[in-house]
C-alpha cells in the first residue's frame, strides 16, 4: 500500500486537515470548528480520526500560530489557542501512533507558497499573509527563517508611523493598525458608521473618498514596510496572502506604485498574489507530515 501523509492546520476558530498520497494527490480534506478550550484534545482526536480513515498515513504535520519551536515540537506560547509550553508534536504522535512534526503556521504556509505557489520561480521570497493581523514568512532556498527566539516575521508590529494610532500590542503606529484587513474595516467604520469590513471599503473604492483615503493609508503603510524588507533582504518576490489578497489588483497596483516610489535607485521585487489561497496552511502541514515520515516525496508533488 502506498504511503500517505497528513497535515493539520490548527487555528482558534477551526482545525483544518489534509491527507495526500505519495504523489501529492488529495485523499481526504476536512475542517472542524474549534475553540481555544481543549484544543490539544481536539487536535489529538482529529489526528486519530485521520489515521482511522486512512491507515496508510505514515507521518503527521501540525502547524499552529504563536511562538513555536519546530525542532523541539513545542508550542511555547499561543494566546489565541490558550497554549503554553505544550509538546504538541509528541501529543499528536501519541494519539495517532504515527511520527509527528510541528511548525509555526505562517512559516508552514510560507514554505508551501514559496515551494508550490506564486513564488516558486524565485529562490527567495517573503510571503505576507494579511488578515486579522499581518506577518511575514522569510523564505530562503533551504529554509523559512524562524529567528533566534522563533519570532521572526512579526512585521505587523513594525512602527510605520511612530507615535501614530494605538495598536493592540501596546505600541503606536504599527503597520497592522493601518493595513490589516480587520483594521482597514474598523478605520473606515469609525469614520462612516458603515459595517466594519475591508470588503466594504474595497467595494466603495472610487465612489467614496473616505474609502479611498483609508485604502491609500493601508497600501502606503504596507509599501513602506516592503521597502524596508527589500533594502534589508533583497528578496526575489513578495507574495501577498490571506483574506486581503482577494482584493487582487486593487491592492497590488497601489502597493507596487508606492514601493517603486520608495526604492528610487533600485528595481522593486515583483509583488504578486498568493496562488494556494485558503489551502496554503494545510499544504504546509502536509509537507511536514511527509518530512515526519522521513520522506522527500513532497519535492515532486504537483500542487
Ligand atoms: Zn503592534
Could you write out the DSSP letters of every residue in 13-49? SEEEEEEEETT--EEEEEEEE--STTHHHHHHHHHHH
The residues, any chain, with a CB within 8 Å of residue 239's CB and separated by 6 or more, are 113, 114, 117, 118, 119, 125, 126, 127, 128, 272, 273, 274
Work out the mean pLDDT of the chain and round it to a whole number.
95
Q: So what's the pLDDT on residue 278?
A: 87
Is CATH 3.30.420.40 what the domain over 4-104+279-300 is classified as, yes or no? Answer: yes
> What separation in Å is there between the alpha carbon of 176 and the centre of ligand 1?
6
> What separation in Å is there between the alpha carbon of 206 and the centre of ligand 1?
29
Rounded distance, CA 95 to CA 107, Å? 25
Q: What is the pTM of this model?
A: 0.90
Q: Band the pLDDT of 203: cuts 50, 70, 90.
A: very high
> What separation in Å is there between the alpha carbon of 191 and the centre of ligand 1?
21
Rounded distance, CA 133 to CA 182, Å? 7
Q: Band the pLDDT of 1: cuts 50, 70, 90.
A: low
> What separation in Å is there between the alpha carbon of 87 and the centre of ligand 1?
28
- What residue ranges do the domains of the chain occupy? 4-104+279-300, 118-274
Judge whether 216 and 250 are in contact, CB under 8 Å.
no
Q: Over 90: is that where the pLDDT of 224 sits? A: yes
**Helix, strand, coil fractions of the chain, as percent rounded to 5:** 45, 25, 35
How many of the other CB atoms lie within 10 Å of CB of 224?
Answer: 19
Strand 67-69 relative to strand 57-64, pairing: unpaired
How many of the other CB atoms lie within 10 Å of CB of 273?
Answer: 18
pLDDT digits (tens, 9 = 90+) for 119-165: 999 999 999 999 888 999 999 987 899 999 999 999 999 999 999 99
Which three cell numbers, joined as nine digits, stand for 246?
482577494
Q: So what's the pLDDT on residue 3?
A: 94
CATH number of 118-274: 3.30.420.40
Q: So what's the pLDDT on residue 166?
A: 95
Judge whether 286 and 7 are in contact, CB under 8 Å.
yes
> What separation in Å is there between the alpha carbon of 9 and the centre of ligand 1?
25
Q: Over 80: is that where the pLDDT of 102 sits? A: yes
**Ramachandran angles phi, psi of 100, nearest 5°:** -135, 150
> What separation in Å is there between the alpha carbon of 30 and the centre of ligand 1?
33
Angle of helix 209-233 versus helix 181-192 axis, rounded to 10:
150
- What number is the average pLDDT over the span 195-224? 96
> What separation in Å is there between the alpha carbon of 158 and the centre of ligand 1?
7
> What separation in Å is there between the alpha carbon of 55 and the centre of ligand 1?
44
Q: Three-state SS string across 93-121, please?
A: HHHHCCCEEEEEHHHHHHHHHHHHCCCCC
> What separation in Å is there between the alpha carbon of 172 and the centre of ligand 1?
7
> What separation in Å is there between the alpha carbon of 173 and the centre of ligand 1?
7
Rounded distance, CA 27 to CA 112, Å? 18
Between 133 and 16, name the one with better pLDDT: 16
Which three cell numbers, joined as nine digits, stand for 59?
507521518
Q: So what's the pLDDT on residue 12?
A: 83
Which three cell numbers, joined as nine digits, stand for 194?
458603515
> What separation in Å is there between the alpha carbon of 92 and the centre of ligand 1?
32
Share above pLDDT 70 across residues of the chain, in percent, rounded to a whole number? 100
Closest by alpha carbon to 8, among 56, 36, 55, 45?
45
**Ramachandran angles phi, psi of 163, nearest 5°:** 80, 10
> What separation in Å is there between the alpha carbon of 165 and the centre of ligand 1?
10
Judge whether 210 and 191 are in contact, CB under 8 Å.
yes
Q: Band the pLDDT of 77: cuts 50, 70, 90.
A: very high
> What separation in Å is there between the alpha carbon of 156 and the centre of ligand 1?
6
> What separation in Å is there between the alpha carbon of 83 and the centre of ligand 1?
21
> What separation in Å is there between the alpha carbon of 185 and the centre of ligand 1?
17
> What separation in Å is there between the alpha carbon of 153 and the centre of ligand 1?
13
> What separation in Å is there between the alpha carbon of 47 and the centre of ligand 1?
34
The residues, any chain, with a CB within 8 Å of residue 212's CB and separated by 6 or more, are 205, 206
> What separation in Å is there between the alpha carbon of 229 and the centre of ligand 1?
17
Amino acid at each position: 500500500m502506498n504511503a500517505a501523509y497528513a497535515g493539520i492546520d490548527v487555528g482558534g476558530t477551526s482545525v483544518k486537515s489534509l491527507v495526500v498520497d505519495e504523489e501529492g494527490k488529495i485523499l481526504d480534506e476536512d475542517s472542524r470548528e474549534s475553540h481555544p478550550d481543549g484544543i490539544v484534545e481536539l487536535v489529538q482526536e482529529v489526528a486519530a480520526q485521520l489515521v482511522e480513515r486512512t491507515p496508510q498515513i505514515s507521518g503527521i504535520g501540525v502547524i499552529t500560530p504563536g511562538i513555536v519551536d519546530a525542532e523541539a515540537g513545542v508550542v511555547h506560547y499561543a494566546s489565541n489557542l490558550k497554549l503554553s509550553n505544550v509538546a504538541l508534536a509528541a501529543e499528536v504522535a501519541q494519539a495517532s501512533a504515527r511520527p509527528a512534526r510541528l511548525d509555526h503556521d505562517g512559516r508552514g504556509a510560507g514554505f508551501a507558497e514559496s515551494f508550490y505557489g506564486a513564488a516558486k520561480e524565485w529562490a527567495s521570497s517573503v510571503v505576507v499573509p494579511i488578515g486579522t493581523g499581518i506577518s511575514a514568512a522569510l523564505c530562503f532556498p533551504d529554509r523559512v527563517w524562524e529567528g533566534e527566539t522563533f519570532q521572526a516575521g512579526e512585521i505587523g508590529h513594525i512602527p510605520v508611523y511612530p507615535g501614530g494610532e494605538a495598536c493592540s500590542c501596546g505600541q503606536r503606529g504599527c503597520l497592522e493598525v493601518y493595513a490589516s484587513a480587520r483594521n482597514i474595516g474598523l478605520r473606515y467604520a469609525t469614520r462612516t458608521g458603515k459595517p466594519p469590513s475591508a470588503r466594504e471599503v474595497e467595494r466603495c473604492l472610487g465612489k467614496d473618498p473616505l474609502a479611498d483615503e483609508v485604502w491609500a493609508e493601508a497600501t502606503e503603510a504596507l509599501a513602506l514596510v516592503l521597502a524596508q524588507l527589500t533594502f534589508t533582504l533583497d528578496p526575489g518576490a513578495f507574495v501577498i496572502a490571506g483574506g486581503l489578497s482577494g482584493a487582487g489588483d486593487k491592492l497590488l497596483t497601489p502597493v507596487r506604485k508606492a514601493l517603486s516610489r520608495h526604492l528610487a535607485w533600485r528595481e522593486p521585487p515583483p509583488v504578486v498574489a498568493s496562488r494556494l489561497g485558503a489551502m496554503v496552511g494545510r499544504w504546509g502541514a502536509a509537507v511536514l507530515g511527509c518530512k515526519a515520515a522521513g520522506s522527500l516525496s513532497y519535492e515532486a508533488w504537483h500542487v
